[in-house]
């Protein structure tokens, strides 16, 4: 009986020790998130705080409040150390309840400077009632702002896409009658069953699928089955915006075009006319003409309107342009009718 109790006690101690491993290892920099980027660490969490975090797997709100106060106070005190004048590219706190300072990985930093920066944070901690505040110094790369020409996953609207006939722009995520998700774009960027790439075939892992359906009756459109997509579009400088619905355009309405070639442009819907499409060698009925600017490479770009400041309603995909500088787009109903798809927002 005593041996059984001992085994139960030993098991309980092992479970408790395992529960504490995630936090303890992170504190020592052995956690997978910090293993290759930890430069040095200072300070300590109290034993009670370590146990609290290990058991609940979360940081207490009161402690987060203190870390936020220290972060705010340290912001102005660390200003002279910030990139490009210094090596610091960020500071704050992590999921394990410790402060962190991100150091530009491309800059050499003397350990003395690291200690000097910690002393600043330590004093800010003391002013907020925290002694010997725990802090990690991490080697991190500078943030890179994605462009429309980068490989972006999941695939969204408004970024570069290429196929057999050149390059264009992704339009929006759609779903066909079988429930398959995919990318809608302009049909003239490729032929039926042609491979499509985002951004282009020169980039490793850029293949997204083949063109399974072409719209040639009411629209210039194509559908590429691909599951790793999102119902958003690239607006500018790595900012993504969500559609809240889709609908028909009307004359006089302001519409926006997000194309890989010319970015975000806007103009008014001037008229609905048939438009001769030289690639298809035929007229397409009831295409929308608008006064937004565009260029080669914008084909397939999403067209949307804004009934209010933060609401975006998808209304078509860009097809081409005509003199004197008008954009021409196929409406969502025309694209849906041709491809047998509906927007999946």
**Both 72 and 171 in a single domain?**
no
**Both 164 and 128 in a single domain?**
no
Query: Which region among 11-25, 46-60, 306-320 has the lowest average model confidence (pLDDT)?
Result: 11-25
Q: Domain boundary residue among 140, 168, 187? A: 140
CB 209 within 8 A of CB 330: no
DSSP 201: T
| Averaged pLDDT for residues 237-249 | 89
**Both 112 and 192 in a single domain?**
no
pLDDT band at 342 (very low <50, low <70, confident <90, very high): very high
| 194 occurs within a structural domain | yes
Residue 114 has pLDDT above 90, yes or no: yes
Q: Domain boundary residue among 140, 167, 202? A: 140
**Both 206 and 312 in a single domain?**
yes
Query: Which region among 12-26, 178-192, 246-260, 322-336 has the lowest average model confidence (pLDDT)?
Result: 12-26
- Give the model's pLDDT for residue 153: 95
| 161 occurs within a structural domain | yes
pLDDT band at 256 (very low <50, low <70, confident <90, very high): very high
Residue 326 has pLDDT above 80, yes or no: yes
Residue 15 has pLDDT above 90, yes or no: no
**Both 132 and 171 in a single domain?**
no
* Residue indicated by tokens 């972006």: 152
Residue 88 has pLDDT above 50, yes or no: yes
- Give the model's pLDDT for residue 142: 82
- Give the model's pLDDT for residue 50: 75
pLDDT band at 19 (very low <50, low <70, confident <90, very high): very low
- Give the model's pLDDT for residue 54: 66
CB 87 within 8 A of CB 138: no
| 150 occurs within a structural domain | no
* Residue indicated by tokens 């998130």: 33
| CATH (domain of 229) | 2.40.10.10
Residue 20 has pLDDT above 50, yes or no: no
Long-range contacts of 319-325, Cβ-Cβ distance < 8 Å, separation of 24 or more = 319/186, 319/219, 319/220, 319/275, 319/277, 319/284, 319/287, 320/220, 320/275, 320/277, 320/294, 321/293, 321/294, 321/295, 322/275, 322/289, 325/291, 325/293
Its domain, for residue 230, covers: 155-343
- Give the model's pLDDT for residue 13: 41
**Both 193 and 46 in a single domain?**
no
Q: Domain boundary residue among 140, 165, 187? A: 140
**Both 66 and 206 in a single domain?**
no
Q: For all residues of the chain together, what is the average pLDDT?
A: 88
What is d(CA 290, CA 137) in angstroms, rounded to the nearest whole number?
Answer: 53
| Averaged pLDDT for residues 68-82 | 93
pLDDT band at 203 (very low <50, low <70, confident <90, very high): very high
| Averaged pLDDT for residues 263-271 | 96
CB 123 within 8 A of CB 135: no
CB 209 within 8 A of CB 335: no
**Both 212 and 267 in a single domain?**
yes
**Both 27 and 129 in a single domain?**
yes
User: Measured at the alpha carbon of residue 155, what is the angle toward residues 239 and 37, in degrees to the nearest 5?
Assistant: 70
* Residue indicated by tokens 């030993």: 10
pLDDT band at 345 (very low <50, low <70, confident <90, very high): confident
| 318 occurs within a structural domain | yes
**Both 123 and 243 in a single domain?**
no
Query: Which region among 27-31, 51-55, 157-161 has the lowest average model confidence (pLDDT)?
Result: 27-31
Longest dimension (CA), the chain: 94
- For residues 212 and 57, the model is more confident at 212
- For residues 15 and 94, the model is more confident at 94
For 24, 134, 247, 282, the CA distances from 275, given in Å and listed in that order, are: 67, 66, 21, 8
What is d(CA 88, CA 63) in angstroms, rounded to the nearest whole number?
Answer: 24
**Both 136 and 83 in a single domain?**
yes
pTM, rounded to two decimals: 0.67
**Where on the phi/psi map is residue 76: left (φ > 0), alpha (ψ -120 to 50), or beta?**
alpha
CB 205 within 8 A of CB 178: no
- Give the model's pLDDT for residue 9: 41
Closest CA to 184 of 121, 145, 229, 251: 229
Q: Quote the number of domains for the chain.
A: 2
Residue 30 has pLDDT above 60, yes or no: no
**Both 90 and 178 in a single domain?**
no
| Averaged pLDDT for residues 235-256 | 91
| Averaged pLDDT for residues 186-198 | 98
| Averaged pLDDT for residues 129-147 | 87
- Give the model's pLDDT for residue 5: 40
């Amino acid at each position: 009986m005593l041996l059984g109790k001992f085994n139960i006690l030993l098991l309980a101690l092992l479970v408790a020790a395992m529960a504490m491993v995630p936090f303890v290892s992170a504190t020592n920099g052995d956690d997978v998130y910090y293993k290759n980027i930890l430069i040095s660490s200072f300070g300590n969490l109290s034993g009670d705080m370590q146990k609290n975090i290990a058991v609940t797997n979360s940081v207490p709100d009161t402690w987060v409040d203190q870390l936020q106060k220290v972060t705010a106070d340290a912001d102005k005190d660390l200003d002279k150390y910030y990139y490009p004048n210094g090596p610091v590219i960020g500071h704050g706190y992590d999921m394990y309840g410790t402060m962190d300072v991100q150091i530009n990985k491309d800059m050499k930093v003397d350990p003395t400077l690291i200690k000097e920066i910690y002393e600043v944070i330590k004093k800010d901690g003391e002013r907020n009632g925290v002694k010997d505040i725990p802090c990690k110094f991490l080697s991190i790369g500078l943030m890179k702002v994605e462009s429309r020409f980068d490989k972006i996953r999941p695939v969204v609207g408004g970024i570069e896409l290429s196929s057999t006939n050149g390059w264009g722009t992704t339009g929006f995520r759609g779903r066909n009658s079988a429930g398959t998700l995919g990318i809608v774009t302009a049909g003239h960027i490729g032929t039926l069953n042609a491979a499509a790439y985002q951004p282009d075939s020169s980039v490793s892992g850029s293949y997204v699928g083949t063109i399974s359906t072409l719209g040639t009756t009411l629209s210039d459109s194509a559908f590429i089955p691909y599951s790793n997509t999102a119902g958003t579009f690239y607006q500018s400088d790595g900012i993504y915006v969500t559609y809240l619905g889709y609908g028909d355009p009307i004359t006089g309405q302001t519409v926006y075009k997000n194309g890989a070639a010319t970015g975000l442009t806007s103009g008014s819907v001037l008229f609905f006319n048939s438009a001769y499409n030289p690639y298809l060698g035929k007229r397409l009925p009831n295409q929308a003409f608008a006064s937004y600017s565009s260029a080669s490479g914008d084909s397939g770009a999403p067209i949307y309107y804004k009934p209010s400041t933060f609401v975006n309603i998808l209304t078509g995909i860009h097809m081409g342009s005509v003199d004197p500088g008008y954009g021409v787009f196929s409406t969502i109903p025309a694209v849906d009718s041709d491809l047998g798809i509906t927007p999946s927002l």
